[in-house]
Amino acid sequence: MSGSNNTRLTMATGGAAGSGVDGSSYIRTIEWDMMNKSKFFPLSMLSSFSVRCCLFPLTVIKTQLQVQHRSDIYKGMIDCAMKIYRSEGVPGLYRGFWISSVQIVSGVFYISTYEGVRHILSDLGADHRIKALVGGGCASLVGQTIIVPFDVISQHAMVLGMSAHPGSKMDINPLGIKSWPGRSRFQISKDIGREIMRRDGLRGFYRGYTASLMAYVPNSAMWWAFYHLYQDELVRICPIWVSHLFIQCVAGSLGGFTTTILTNPLDIVRARLQVHRLDSMSIAFRELWQEEKLNCFFKGLSARLVQSAAFSFSIILGYETIKRIAVDEQYKHQIRW
């Protein structure tokens, strides 16, 4: 192996190369400049869209649990899923899907920022966990700036027609959008966007932006840091025959569990700011505390944990698999599946 390849291998494995069955070193982390981007980007977008298609109902369930008053409508995740399905069928579980799928585009900017920041910090000699923490935070800042307007529209669509209280004729529909039968999801989303523009102008599309940053920037930063932390520990304790890709997927799920528990109240505040059209985070926090007290730390948590574990496992499975497929030929013999 050449000197430059030795240097790259050391950087890719966080300073300690993994050891294969035959005693040879392998690359634990595939770096940005090791990949063929023409393969990586299209495959990454396809993977992201596939995961979103499969798991989007969990996002709808989580959002409806977060914006309901106490537990007036749904008693939990399963109850919410069953009631939505009985009322609207499968389409009800995909409310706001197409407008939310724009996140696939923001995902390209997200991962490019994450990998780009890690690459810059690598040149500065930063520890691989610091690279993950800083890269994850910067990536979320860029991603949220792009996606928040679409997220606002999507969340209004998710709760359209949802009752405010059991037996109540009033819906959680602060924009007054009509969703009578026969209207397409695109028409409804367009009406939501037009009404937000009429009432608030462009700033209406960034309602809850600060709360989104406060919820998702730490979430993203911690998730990537925990992902590498758990991965290092699992590599250390697992037998050498255990698939490295499987270890990465488990590390992603554990990172998702950890960050979800730590950031749950902030995510509820973000959802309520965007759907209930509250004026500030302090008002949202105050209302949430008055309604829920300590339960605000657990409201919608089961749905978020399931969603986070499923998304984390699936995203890492797709992400790390695609990186292995897109890696340049000169590194393929050093990649362990």
Q: Is 173 left (phi over 0), alpha (psi -120 to 50) or beta?
A: beta
Q: Is the distance from CB of 119 to CB of 31 less than 8 angstroms? A: yes
| pLDDT value at residue 6 | 36
List C-alpha distances in Å: 129 to 35, 54, 118, 281: 21, 30, 10, 31
- Distance of alpha carbon 296 from alpha carbon 250, whole angstroms: 28
For range 278-292, the mean pLDDT = 70
Strand partners, 171: 163
Residue 73 DSSP symbol: S
- List, for residues 43-65, the tens digit of each pLDDT value: 888 888 888 888 888 888 877 77
**Beta-carbon neighbour count of residue 136 at 10 Å?**
30
- Bridge partners of 26? 18
Is pLDDT of 168 > 50? no
pTM reported for the whole predicted model: 0.68
Q: Which of 302, 300, 298 is nearest to 64 (CA)?
A: 300
Asked if 300 and 17 count as a contact pair (C-beta separation under 8 A), the reply is no
Q: Which of 1-15, 245-259, 300-314 has the highest mean pLDDT?
A: 245-259
- Write out pLDDT tens, residues 248-267: 999 999 998 888 888 777 77
Number of H helices, E strands in the chain: 12, 2
pLDDT over threshold 60, residue 5:
no
Phi and psi dihedrals of 237, rounded to 5? -100, -20
What domains are defined for the chain? Answer: 30-332 (1.50.40.10)
What is the pLDDT, as a whole number, of residue 248?
92
Q: Which residues pair with 19 in a beta bridge?
A: 25
How far is it, in rounded angstroms, from Cα 289 to Cα 301? Answer: 16
Cα dihedral across residues 205, 206, 211, 217: positive or negative? positive
- Tens digit of pLDDT for each residue in 190-243? 777 787 888 877 777 787 787 778 778 888 898 999 998 999 899 888 888 889
Contacts of 322 by beta carbon, 8 Å cutoff, 6+ apart = 39, 40, 43, 44, 47
Q: Residue 246: its pLDDT value, please? A: 92
